[in-house]
Amino acid sequence: MTMPGTLRWDELEFLECLEASPVISEYEVCYAYKVRRDGSELDVSVWPLENVVEFSFCQAGKMVFEFAFFMRGPIQLAKDENGEYLHFQDGVFAPSRFWYQQAGDLMDQTLFPTGIDLYLRIKPRIGFQFAAILSPAPNPSHQRT
């Protein structure tokens, strides 16, 4: 299991991309960001000691979705021709940040071999994109008989 507190992220990159100052809990165990755009509201809670980021998205005051994303890779600010975004690399989806208590070690790639990359933009509107990271298929020519 990844050691607690090894989340690779930069608070200033979140501040720059989300354009929101975090509410930081006592002892800096959680950084909570709230982003509002055109009737949509995104809450992003970063739990660095647990390597997890929670998301909840509401539109017109109604919950659309919420999930936790357990991070095995880094979170980085990136830019392209459409602007900037946060790139969450190699994560595992979960319904809540405590789901690991039932599911086992979410950092164990033998239990959870397919990681997900998540891309989060807030301009011109809040948007998510996802991409699966597939483990390479075994090469039959390298197998011994």
145 lies in a domain?
no
Inter-CA distances, 3 with 51, 68, 72, Å: 9, 18, 11
32 lies in a domain?
yes
Q: Which tens digit of pLDDT belongs to each residue from 99-134?
A: 777 777 777 777 777 889 999 999 999 999 999 876
Q: Which tens digit of pLDDT belongs to each residue from 55-65?
A: 999 999 999 99
Residue 45's closest CA among 7, 73, 81? 7
142 lies in a domain?
no
Question: For residue 39, what are the domain limits?
Answer: 11-134
137: DSSP letter: P
3 lies in a domain?
no
2 lies in a domain?
no
How many angstroms separate the CA atoms of 89 and 66, rounded?
19
pLDDT above 80 (res 49): yes
pLDDT above 50 (res 2): no
Q: What percent of the chain is predicted at pLDDT more than 70?
A: 88
pTM of the model: 0.83
pLDDT above 50 (res 71): yes
4 lies in a domain?
no
139 lies in a domain?
no
Tell me, what's the pLDDT at 135?
Answer: 57
Number of domains observed in the structure of the chain = 1
144 lies in a domain?
no
Start-to-end C-alpha separation, the chain: 33
Whole-number CA gyration radius for the chain: 17
